[in-house]
Amino acid sequence: PWVGLSRTRAWREWHLLATLQQRDLPVPQPVAARVIREGLFYTADIITCRLPDCRPLADMLSEAPLPALVWQAIGACVRRFHDEQVYHADLNAANILLDQPDHVYLVDFDRARFRNPGRWRAANLSRLRRSLNKFAGMCTRFYFSDEDWEALLAGYSRKRPQ
């Protein structure tokens, strides 16, 4: 239902992405948002710049294992967002994109928001792990191991694994 332009998902996502871009976080650049009110309801769209040569983490893991350095880069990327108090409500293996071995982007911020520090960070990481385990259960081949998760956590904590 219509509750005002500033409360629509497309409007909020566009403004959040613009803020994250200003903070130099790896997100697609927002180009435009459109909201069309139709009585009590609305339809909405958002346009972002294409991230060339990027592939979802989930797709890459269905083809080959990734080196520990890539997992560390993923962890470091998630940590950058958490350090900026960004809660990504749909942090999963399909919303993490890679274009170079260690260049990581996050996408799909329609339900994301800024949050005060708290336990949500650990819950957000747990959500990502559940996503990886879910893909592993659905795919015939999916290259994800406990060692990969440890490398991600090492990147998140900015420590190198032993």
Q: For 129-142, write each residue's pLDDT tens digit.
A: 999 999 999 989 99
Structure tokens at 116: 């005060």
Q: For 12-39, write each residue's pLDDT tens digit.
A: 999 999 999 999 999 999 999 999 999 9
Q: For 37-83, write each residue's pLDDT tens digit.
A: 999 999 999 999 999 999 999 999 999 999 999 999 999 999 999 99
Residue 36 CB-density burial (10 A; 0-12 exposed, 13-18 middle, 19+ buried):
exposed
90 is catalytic: yes
3-state secondary structure 75-100: HHHHHHHHHCCEECCCCCCCCEEEEE
The one catalytic residue in 24, 53, 83, 90 is: 90
- Ordered by where they begin, the domains of the chain are 5-48 (no CATH), 55-157 (1.10.510.10)
List CB contacts of 40: < 8 A, sequence separation 6 or more. Answer: 1, 2
Mutual orientation of helices 68-83 and 146-157 as an angle, nearest 10°? 40
List CB contacts of 135: < 8 A, sequence separation 6 or more. Answer: 58, 61, 62, 93, 142, 144
